[in-house]
Amino acid sequence: MKTSRTPNNWTNILFFSLTPLLAIAGIYWLYASGRGVPAATWVLTAIGLYATGLGITSGYHRLFAHKTYDAPWPIRLFFLVITSGSFEGSALEWSSDHRTHHRFVDTDKDPYNIKAGFWFAHIGWLFKRPSPPLLYDNVTDLLRDPLIRFQHRYYIPLAILVSFGIPTLIASLWGDPWGGFFVAGVTRMVFNHHATFCINSVCHYLGTQPYSDRHTGRDSWITAIFTYGEGYHNYHHEFPGDYRNGIRAWHWDPGKWLIYGLKKVGLARNLKKVQPDRIFQARLEMDEKKLVQKLATHPGLAKIDWHHLVSKNRQRLIDAHAHFLKLKQDYKRLKSEKMDYVADQMEKVHAEIQKARENFERSLTEWRMLLRNPVVA
């Protein structure tokens, strides 16, 4: 498939090819020379991994590229400085590429188009220069931020300082400057590179599509673990304006926890969330699409009005869900009023919520039975 990136970018080719070799050679030399790597250096490496990794997910991705929440200047500055150590470009460049990816996903204009091949989406796209060059016309809102302009202008010295200089200086405190450089610096950076690159490749290749099949984004708890929570990628591509990737409490998404934690201490505001009914509707549409495909190809169901069967069950579930959500909203409203006379109403609504929950769960069970075995249902 044709791509919009043509001339070789030899700077990137050499950088992304030599840094893994430097990391391996450095660790080998540390152990072969008898120096080893102290536990404190490994702890520093782990802290650096999550600091720069969450800088990408909570900062570059969800704050700047998608603007899923607002943050005061100290938090923006922190993300801009610490994420420079990821060596993945300035926030301006990163956000411009990412917005283009969402706008033209899975097409020739997608900078890291998975349909051009797994290798291309993972890292190959970085080996080509953008053609035409980036004009930053899709990030004019970010250009108005003087902190973003500052980071873009001084990105290279910031990246060198944060990625290599600071880990080396910190590890020098316990007499391990070379471990700070090779392990907490170079090795940490290489690992973060490929964790981020997996979002462009693995997250468009491995997993399920519970919300939409109009794009190649996929959900996988496995990829969420080593992409700092970005593995729920089908959801993200369907609802990019949500500050969360993993919407369930048990979904591994440290980025959403960090953002929510910042909100609780007054350092983030206007957190954007997709309404539950929209999410539920998207799941039902995908369920119905898969079910209709299954029913249409089953020879034993030719004389059955399966369109009516599916729509009837689907509508029953939608109504039950809508009623359940409405009662929860009523209860929340009554609770916020904090007046004695609403106590009886709250108790009544609470009882109705329990019944609505049971009705919804029963309808959901019937829907899942239909999905698993439509012939029996």
CA 97 from chain centre, in angstroms, equals: 15
Strands (E) across the chain are located at: 5-8, 128-130
Structure-token pair, residue 46: 């782990």
| Cβ contact 188:49 at 8 Å | yes
Cα separations in angstroms, 300 against 198, 229, 288, 338, 375: 43, 43, 19, 58, 8
Q: Which range scores top for mean pLDDT: 77-91, 130-144, 324-338?
A: 77-91
Pick from 217, 213, 275: nearest CA to 247: 275
Pick from 19, 148, 15: nearest CA to 81: 148
The pLDDT value recorded for residue 281 is 83
288 pLDDT more than 80 = no
pTM (2 d.p.)? 0.83
Tell me the per-residue pLDDT of 333-344, one tens digit each, with 9 for 90 and over.
766 766 555 566
Reported confidence tier of residue 376, pLDDT bands at 50, 70, 90? very low
Cα separations in angstroms, 70 against 14, 57, 262, 275: 37, 15, 10, 19
Tell me the per-residue pLDDT of 221-280, one tens digit each, with 9 for 90 and over.
999 999 999 999 999 999 999 999 999 999 999 999 999 999 999 999 999 999 888 898
Structure-token pair, residue 43: 């702890």
* Residues 6+ away with beta carbon under 8 Å from 166: 85
90 pLDDT more than 50 = yes
42 pLDDT more than 90 = yes
354 pLDDT more than 90 = no
Pick from 17, 299, 9, 238: nearest CA to 126: 9
CA 342 from chain centre, in angstroms, equals: 41
6 pLDDT more than 70 = no
Tell me the per-residue pLDDT of 150-177, one tens digit each, with 9 for 90 and over.
999 999 999 999 999 999 999 999 999 9
Q: Which long-range contacts (CB under 8 A, 24 or more apart) does 11-16 make?
A: 12/126, 12/127, 13/127, 16/123, 16/126, 16/127, 16/193
Please give the mean pLDDT across all residues of the chain. Answer: 87
